Structure 1
Amino acid sequence: MGCGVTGPRRVPRVLSIAGTDPTGGAGIHADLKSIAANGGYGMAVVTALVAQNTQGVRSVHVPPVAFLAEQLDAVSDDVDIDAVKIGMLAGVDVIRAVADWLDRVRPPVVVLDPVMVATSGDRLLDADAVEALRGLLSRADLVTPNVPELAILAGEPAAGTWDDVLEQAIRVAAQHRVRVLAKGGHLTGQHLPDALVDPTGGTVIVTEFSGTRIETSNTHGTGCSLSSAIATLVAGSGDWANAAAESKRWLTESIRHGPELHVGVGHGPISHFAGLWNRGGIVTAPTASEVEADWWAEIAGIRADIDDLPFVRGLGDGTLDRDVFLRYLAQDALYLRDYARMLAVAASLAPTPDEQAFWAGSAQGAIAEEMSLHESWLTNADGSLRTAGLDSVTTAYLNHLLAAAARSDYHLLIAALLPCFWVYQDVGERLRPLSHPEHPYRSWLDTYADPVFAASVRQAIDIVTKAATGAGDAGRAAMREAFRASAEHERRFFDAQGA
């Protein structure tokens, strides 16, 4: 059975064809925000310049239809469009121009928000344009009218109950062979359902979505925003019912946070990015290379202290007392035994097969290191192995790693494990030039300056810093502190062995 690994998500390219709103709450301004908030790349063709605010529409200027056609062609001649959301079409000629373009380009997804009545109650289309708009229904995959607009499309009085809304939606869907999103927002009461009415399979299927009224005046542009969200999500998934359900959840959250914007004194806008701001923040995450540079600079003082330690200086120039070096190796062997276990824990927590393989391989390598380099130095003349108990410094370091592992926090653990890779390579590479064939500790210097070890260190740095970029501000700060604490334990470890 496959592991389910997929490539990067392709961002849907969604075109909004609609009018403007200088206050940013409706029209193409709302569409672009909705598309971005739901993971799409938004594009816009302007059908009308609307002088409006949260209190109502003041006037509408419709640019020449030839210019509208040029805008549409400019986009489709260059960009593969995944979905189109159509909003305000101010007049018969505009509607015909859009219809002609749809017939030529045939976008894979078309969502029509039949903007005929604004939230403020303003009627935006004359009778001839309404009739032309009905002709556009057959070119759409989904139409998203509010209650008054649904009644106009059906040629009937506005529905007063949810059952009446559903019946009208079913008649419109069956007549025009188009999905209809029936919306209950204009009804009275606390229960505000929506429903996807889908006649495309030969039998009309009605999928209802429950909802509760939110007491707010921030409802400007809700129809624009919902239809754009559905277009974006269905372009990515192909699932109309799920796209409608997810868009409704997103819209509800955005409406709830609308008052926090304090925009206008009438029907204020929704907060399109409320969820993104609350869950993701607005601070740009650092790149992996920026994390690497920051963390390395964070321990610059610790690294300088390590260079000045008598143990490290003696190790480099070969004057280190042999018994001191053997005491160090004995503690290091004990440390590596448990360090290998922590690497195995990291492997068990790793989110990808490549990371699992790296940490598991490192655990095996740590054990092999203990068995080869350390045993070659720590074997007595009679063949017995020199042993030692854990000293307080080694114990403290291991307790730090064990505490990170006990939290089952992959990010925190690998940050704590990294200095044992990175600091050792740094020390080994800088001491290696002092080595010579008769250097008493050349085998140690060769091990930590080896290109194979350097490649392993590079991979560890890449894994940890990449994880840090996606850990969020708090998680990244915790990782940085765990890394710094381990680097300090490395300094104390070298210092204790030379005492």
Structure 2
Amino acid sequence: MPHVLSIAGSDPSGGAGIQADLKAIAANGGYGMAALTALTAQNTQGVRAVHVPPADFLRAQLDAVGDDIRIDAVKVGMLADVEVIRTVAAWLRDTQPPIVVLDPVMIATSGDRLLHPDAERELRSLLSLATVVTPNLAELAVLVGHEVTDWADALTAARELSAAMGTAVLVKGGHLPGDEAPDALIDTAAGTHAEFPGARIRTANTHGTGCSLSAALATRLATGDDPATAVRAARAWLRESLRAADDLEIGRGHGPIHPFSGLWARGGVETRPTPEEVAAAWWDETAAIRRDIDALPFVRALAGGTLDRDAFVFYLAQDALYLREYARVLAEASRLAPTPDEQAFWAEAAHGAIRGELELHASWLTPETGVSGATFAAEPAPATVAYLDHLRAVAFGGDYATVIAAVLPCFWLYTDLGERLHTGAFGAAPRDPRHPYASWLATYADPAFAEATRQAVAHVAAAAARADDTGRERMRRAFLASSAHERAFFAAPVARAVV
């Protein structure tokens, strides 16, 4: 990120000066700093008063920043008098920043001269220290000492100024009459003559456009863009900001541009959650589902050792059908995974579901043959069909983040239930080796599965934190839908017997 220092006056209404510069720098990807050359009392209707702090205080500001922070570019704006101009010039010579963009603030939009003639002469001598100078047509005329009446005159004057000062000149055509508002970058030493046409954007809210463009240009140059590319990018941002200027409705005069309109439209203003915040919020949203699971007759009877064997075998048979398809969804997650680490994790989870968990199921269902066709001979129950249809639909969509959100409850809810079974949340019976389903319950609290769950939560939460609002909400819905299917799956063995 480039560090850009604005040396300019202050506008308390926020539309011009350092306030505009800092917004422009931020909007173009830089870190903005500011040294104040003047304090103004102004608003969108005009300037009421100007106070110029002592020049030695300005130098103290510049030295304080330069002594501590790397400066990649400097934008120079309003310099109120000869002493201020000389102070800035001396500091530039002492520090020699790599990029200096000088916006020669000399003529107000009304046409009034802002500087005394001696200050204008002193400012002209500052041009040779600049990388790029960005005058409007009236300022260009003052700098070259003759009238500039049309665009052809402007290009000629820009070449003259560039040759005389040894600097690039970005001449701005916004004050031309008519429907076009072109700009041009002229650098006689480099042989650059790049013109940038553009239709005039019809708005009265143009306060601070010169400040903003020069600050944006300094930032773009500091990122490493060549001059023409930097101008093109800065202009594109400025024009976008001008098109949205009327939306701000600031003040009763000439309002400012809307420097963040594009950023807000593309990215919004809501902060993204951290992975930890995502995990905590989603887990909280399953609280009612987890309470319902705890209260299910199947879970209570399983914990207490009173569960009918037929209900248990029914559950295992349905779980075998589920795991076979679940493994395929995990494999799809592995195929879609963006990193080798995630690819390996989901592939190992798919392998574990087939080799580890299904073999345990077969030890109860088909002990003579192991995992075979007979293991999957049961008729799928409605809850099983619904859950698998949900997972297949998500997997078919091909959205990696949503797929892993959908498979997460099978990790997370099972691990949570197993850990609480083994810590006595359901009484002492699950830890009794004489429990009829002791070997099965032991798998719920398997440390390896707990670690796999931790990794699954981390992968899903990280993906959700990276996603935009729409993608994160899609993930959340898939996660909660799977959690609800988990509840129905646990309810099915006893519900079927009741029906």
TM-score (structure 2 length as normaliser): 0.90
Q: Which moved more, 1:423-432 or 1:171-180?
A: 171-180
Q: Distance in 1 between matches of 2:194 and 2:302?
A: 74
The secondary structure found in structure 1 opposite 2:47 is: strand
Tell me, yes or no, if structure 1 residue 343 matches structure 2 residue 330.
yes
| Counterpart position of 1:273 | 260
The residue correspondences of 1:67-78 to structure 2 (distance < 5 A) are: 67-78=57-68
Q: Deviations over 1:144-167 (max 9, x none)?
A: 221222222233312412x33233
In terms of mean alpha carbon deviation, does 150-159 or 243-252 score higher? 150-159
Where does residue 463 of structure 2 map in the other structure?
Answer: 467
2:475 equivalent in structure 1: 479
Q: Does 1:192 align with 2:155?
A: no
* Alpha-carbon distance between aligned partners in 2 of 1:235 and 1:423, rounded to the nearest angstrom: 51
Higher mean C-alpha deviation, range 402-411 or range 244-253 = 402-411
Distance 2:128 2:329 in 1: 62
For 1:480, the aligned partner's letter is R
**Count of matched residue positions in the alignment of Structure 1 and Structure 2:** 486
Q: Structure 1 pair 371/91, CA: closer, same or farther in 2 (3 Å)?
A: same
Runs of 4+ in 1 over 6 A off after TM superposition: none
The alignment partner of 1:208 has SS state of strand
Kindly tell me: are residues 494 and 52 of structure 1, through their superposed partners in 2, closer, same or farther at Cα, counting changes over 3 Å? same
Alpha-carbon distance in structure 2 between the residues aligned to 1:143 and 1:43: 20
SS of equivalent to 2:4: strand
Is residue 2:487 matched to residue 1:498?
no
Distance 1:374 1:98 in 2: 80
**Other-structure match for 2:444:** 448
Give the SS at the match of 2:223: helix
Indicate yes or no: 2:169 matched with 1:173: no
Secondary structure in 2 matching 1:498: helix
Q: 2:414 aligns with which of 387, 401, 424?
A: 424
Q: Which residue of 2 aligns with 1:8?
A: none
> Equivalents in 1 of 2:434, 2:101: separation in Å?
79
Provide the rounded CA distance (Å) in 1 between the counterparts of 2:296 and 2:459: 30
Find the aligned partners of 1:180 and 1:365 in 2 and give their Cα distance.
67
**Highest Rg: 1 or 2?**
2
Residue type of the partner of 2:393?
A
In the alignment, which residue of structure 1 is the partner of 2:347? 360
- Distance in structure 1 (CA, Å) of the matches to 2:369 and 2:24: 77
Change beyond 3 A, Cα 1:295–1:382: closer
How much does 1:353 deviate?
4.0
| Partner secondary structure for residue 12 of structure 2 | coil
In the alignment, the residues of structure 1 paired with residue 465 and residue 481 of structure 2 have an alpha-carbon distance, to the nearest angstrom, of: 20
Partner of 1:7: none
CA distance in 1, matches of 2:334, 2:234: 38
Equivalent residue number for residue 382 of structure 2: 392
Q: Distance in 1 between matches of 2:72 and 2:337?
A: 35
**What residue in structure 1 maps to residue 50 of structure 2?**
60
- C-alpha separation in 1, matches of 2:282 and 2:369: 46
Q: TM-score, normalised by structure 1?
A: 0.90
C-alpha distance in structure 1 between counterparts of 2:14 and 2:119, whole Å = 25
Q: How does 1:71-470 map to 2 (within 5 A)?
A: 71-161=61-151, 163-199=152-188, 202-381=189-368, 385-386=374-375, 387-433=377-423, 434-470=430-466
Instruction: Provide the C-alpha distance between the structure 2 equivalents of 1:360 and 1:156, rounded to a whole number of angstroms.
Output: 75
The alpha-carbon distance between structure 1 residues 409 and 95, as it changes in their structure 2 partners (threshold 3 A), is same
Greater shift, 211-220 or 385-394, is seen at 385-394
1:380–1:17 distance in 2 versus 1, CA, 3 Å: same
Residue 332 of structure 1: how far off its partner (Å): 1.8
CA distance in 2, matches of 1:356, 1:170: 59
- Residues in 2 aligned to 1:268 and 1:34: alpha-carbon distance in whole angstroms: 16
| 1:170 alignment partner AA | R
After superposing the two structures, state which structure 1 stretch, 29-38 or 371-380, moved more: 371-380
Asked if the contact 2:148/2:157 (under 8 Å) is kept, the reply is: no
Partners of 1:346 and 1:331 in 2: CA distance: 23
How far 1:371 moved relative to its partner?
4.3
Q: CA deviation at 1:47?
A: 0.2
SS at 1:207 equivalent: strand
Give CA deviations for 1:173-232 in whole Å, capped at 9, x if unaligned.
233232222222111222222233345xx5412233332211110111001111111222
What amino acid is aligned across from residue 193 of structure 1 in structure 2?
Answer: P
Contact 1:119 1:220 in 2 (8 A): no
Verify the 8 A CA contact 1:34 1:228 in the aligned structure 2. yes
After the TM superposition, which of the residue ranges 41-50 and 327-336 deviates more from structure 2?
Answer: 327-336
Q: CA deviation at 1:440?
A: 4.0
Query: Quick check: 359-368 or 326-335, which moved more?
Result: 359-368
The answer on whether the counterparts of 1:254 and 1:272 sit within 8 Å (CA) in structure 2 is yes
Aligned to 1:30: 20
Give the conservation status (yes or no) of the 8 Å contact 1:339–1:398: yes
State the partner residue of 2:30: 40
1:231-266: per-residue Cα shift (whole Å, max 9, x none)?
223323343333322221111111111112222232
Structure 1 residues 128 and 288 mapped into 2: Cα distance closer, same or farther (>3 Å)?
same
Match of 2:426 in 1: none
| Distance of 1:353 and 1:168 partners within structure 2 | 59
Q: Does the CA-based 8 Å contact 2:323-2:358 persist in structure 1? A: no
Q: AA paired with 1:314?
A: A
**Secondary structure of the residue that 2:266 maps to in structure 1?**
helix
Contact preservation (8 Å) 1:172, 1:180 = yes
- Residue 286 of structure 1 aligns with an amino acid whose one-letter code is P
Amino acid at match of 2:478: A
Pair 1:179–1:358, CA change in 2 (3 A) = farther
- Are the structure 2 counterparts of residues 180 and 375 from structure 1 closer, same or farther at C-alpha, using a change threshold of 3 Å? farther
Identity, % of aligned positions: 60
Q: CA 1:340/1:212 → structure 2, altered by over 3 Å: closer, same or farther? A: farther
Return the offset for 1:468.
2.5
**Stretch of structure 1 that moved more, 18-27 or 183-192:** 183-192
CA–CA separation in structure 2 for the residues paired with 1:459 and 1:382:
33
1:36-83 deviations in Å (ceiling 9; x for gaps): 222222211100112322233333221110111011111111212222
1:456/1:215 CA distance change after superposition, 3 Å: same
Structure 2 gap ranges (5+): 424-429
Pairwise CA distance, 1:31: 0.6
